A and B are shown apart, each in its own frame.
Chain A
Amino acid sequence: MSAFLTRIGDRLNPVLVKEVRQALNGRLFRIGYGLSLLAALCIAMVMVMSSEQPDGAQLSVAMFGCMGVSLFAFIPFWSFLSMGGEWDENTHDLLVLSNLSPRRIVLGKLGAALVQSLVSFLAFLPFFVFAFLLRGVNLPTLLMLLGAALVVSPCAALVAIGISSLTTNRFLRVLLMVGVIAGLIVLAIGAVTFVGYLLFTGFFTPAASEQLLVLAVILTVALVVGGFFGEVACVRLAHAEENRSTGLRVLALAGLAGMVAWTAYGVSQGADLDFVSGMAIAAQWLLLLPCAHFAIETEPLGRRVARQVPRNRLLALLATPLLPGGGRGLLFWFACEALVLGGATLVATQVHGATGAWSRAPIMITGPAGTAPTVLAPPTIGLSGALDAWWNDGLWSVLATGLFCAFYLAVPTLIVRRTTSPMRRLRARLSVLLLFAGGIALPALVLFLQSGPRHLPGWSDPWEHAFNPFWLLDEAWNDAPFDVAPLGTFTLLVVATIALLLLLPRARRGLAEVAAASAERRARERKGDAPPAS
């Protein structure tokens, strides 16, 4: 038994062992853990003593509040400090030089957060059992919420780890810490409020599919966002010559696939076209930030990555958008846009099929008694009819969002296309946000200073201009592109076309580089040069 335990101990992630040891010995865990348990005990005693018939649901919510402080605030915050400490305590270099891969380091820290969550959970379990015995709480609901909390807490820890790894500068990390603390407080309060709402409504009933859906969406978002930030931390720990982009791109794609899946599920449950176009637009905005990051990466493939490009031409072509490099980041964005537009169109045609607005069946008009029914031609013809309806009822909004994204991507990527300076790249990435805000505010200011409210078609207010996505999307939501805002639409089309034309050569160069690397690998292997060992 002892030998077995030793073997298990040998195979445990060393970061997990160290982090758990440090966490359990650390002040933050002891104080957070002790205070939340003490608060739970006091609240439970007060609630039991002050009422003849204490309510189990109320006690559960109170206990969840106490546990939430540990799970959603203290533990993720500890993870933030732990990751930042690797740089602050000068252990980062020693750690990355060891045999531990970046993923193992991040998983070790995640595991430590999970162990702490479990310790907290086990400490609070008797309180929840007590609350259940008091009645008034639905057991499946309680179990599901506790399970969800155990998923969301490590995801929050992953987000904290990812954010903490963003900078090596201590001052900037302090600024990030303030943001993380604020975010964790909002998360803890939001989680307890949500749990309170669900527990008081006794949500886990056959009629409560909407609440279940909300919970499932929250878990999906938590897993995707947590995974993304975890990958960000891995990238920050990886050697500069390693592939630091493909993992993030795959996760961004996974997030997109998750959104498509939820859209398809929503449609199967009777959601309308607005839901489809809303999800497509949300997906595009959410993808803009990671795509801006990819599009501003250093252009050439590293030596090591170039050696790993698939030798097969087709595989190399398919892998191109997932490989590092700014041009390939643009290709990735093009591919995502194609997936969003294609997926949304596919789902939208299903919506039409389901609601009967688009039907292949002929219409039968029954005549007076004794006469034969009149058969009319189908009101819409196949796919084109469905696309026509989709174009007028959402597709234009989705397309317009894509054009906005092209504009936001084009300017920063053109600025940095020749620079290798990480600082300039960071500035370019941040400029996407500035471009968004400036694109809305500056034309509005100019229009206002020029002549106050204008009365040209589509320009009746300073805020109503082509670079304000809120306005144009609102206009486009239920109308064809040139019906309401012709000038705005025209301007956006022209600007976005120029942006796309400027982006295309970069994307083409990115593709050509992969093709060359693939050809080089084929030539190398023909000469008998062995492929790399790892």
Chain B
Amino acid sequence: MSAALEVEGITRRFGDHVAVRDVAFTVEPGRIVGFIGPNGAGKTTTMRVCSTLDLPDAGDVRIAGESILDEPRLARQRLGFMPDSYGAYAATSVSEYLDFFARAYGLRGERRREALRHVTEFTSLDELLDKPMAALSKGMKQRLCLAKTLLHDPSVLILDEPAAGLDPRARVELRELVKALAQQGKAILISSHILTELSEMCDGVVVIERGKVLANGSVDSITRQLKPHVQTYVRALGQDGALERTLKEQPGVDSVRPHKGGFVFTADGDETAVARVLAALVAAGVAVVEFAPESVNLEDVFLELTRGKVQ
């Protein structure tokens, strides 16, 4: 499948400061890619370059095949960008705001009305159309901004911190909306500091720090790169000494350490090696009550990869 968003080695300097250095990744249609990194890592700069709002000093970005340098106007037509700072017009209602942007995207007549109906239904804004924008809550504003972003039915969505400042319910709603958009075949690049949210919706992540991509791929593949050995948690009924001794006696078992009333160990090899350890424990008469692979989440990956350094 050809990528809908192709970032081809972009570099962006601000004077002597290199904000983004040779960043490259792709997002395929129907996939959600999380863009994570500490503050000042270069996420927003990369997203602004991808959105044609900033120009790279080197490299290029293709939006649905259109280069942002050669054909910025065509690239913009295929792109929906939701910035981290929400832009509002004074003395304007929700319907006036959406109508203005629908016209600005060149939608006319029935097509415009259909697009407005579709996005307001999708984002559940149909009850708020007459409400002045100034009276909207943060969650409603984010939904309105997403509705505006979807008006011209873009094939690529770039969402910069869409969940920032939202309460848990609004975050869940936003997550469901993003998932639904991916199911419609849109390629989505999303940045957020709420990694648990991202891990629940993203098919892949790009980790960036100090302007450089540190890792790129699915959470599992990055985890395997970071921790090639399987970590397993095991707990037995009151036989901690026997459990620890038996584990350490097994060939290929390494770094046995106490954890949450049991032990975590690393076994060389694949899941067969882990199964062999379990069989040995049972054979040694250890009453195993819990035996499970130690889960690695996005937060662990993030903390493992980054050092929290800014440029």
Contacts and interface: CB of A to CB of B under 8 A. Distances in A.
A524 interface: no
A307 B71 CA distance: 11
Interface in B112-144: 112
A100 B96 contact: no
Interface stretch (A178-186, A235-243, A430-438, A446-454): A235-243
Nearest to A18: B100
Nearest to B108: A10
Interface in A210-264: 239-242
A9 to B, nearest CB: 9
Contacts, number: 98
B145 to A, nearest CB: 8
Contact of B101 (A93, A94, A532): A94
A22 interface: yes
Contacts of B104: 14-15, 95, 98-100
Q: Find the residue from B71, B74, B100, B148 having the highest chain A CB count within 10 A.
A: B100
Contacts of B306: none
B72 A242 contact: yes
Interface in B276-310: none
A93 B53 contact: yes
Contacts of A98: 76, 101, 104-105
Contact of A89 (B83, B87, B103): B87
Contacts of B85: 90
Interface string B2-39: 00000000000001000000000000000000000000
Given A97-B52, A98-B101, A239 B89 contact: no
A474 B294 CA distance: 89
A26 interface: yes
Contacts of A421: 15
Interface in A91-133: 91-100
Contacts of A91: 87-89
Interface string B82-110: 01011111111000100011011110110
Contacts of A420: 57
B101 A303 contact: no
Interface residues of A, number: 39
Contacts of B79: 97
B100 A10 contact: no
B interface secondary structure, majority: loop
Contacts of B52: 97, 239
Contact of B83 (A93, A239, A534): A93
B76 A97 contact: yes
B69 interface: yes
Interface string A4-20: 00110011001101100
Interface in A334-362: none
A151 B109 CA distance: 33
A93 B55 contact: no
Interface string B55-74: 10100000000001111111
A533 interface: yes
Interface of B: 15, 51-55, 57, 68-74, 76-77, 79, 81, 83, 85-92, 96, 100-101, 103-106, 108-109, 112, 148, 152
Interface of A: 6-7, 10-11, 14-15, 17-18, 21-22, 25-26, 85, 89-100, 239-242, 302-304, 307, 420-421, 423, 532-534
25 contacts: A10-B103, A14-B103, A18-B96, A22-B91, A26-B90, A89-B87, A89-B89, A91-B88, A93-B83, A93-B87, A95-B104, A96-B53, A97-B52, A98-B101, A99-B77, A99-B105, A239-B72, A242-B72, A303-B69, A304-B70, A304-B72, A420-B57, A532-B70, A534-B71, A534-B74
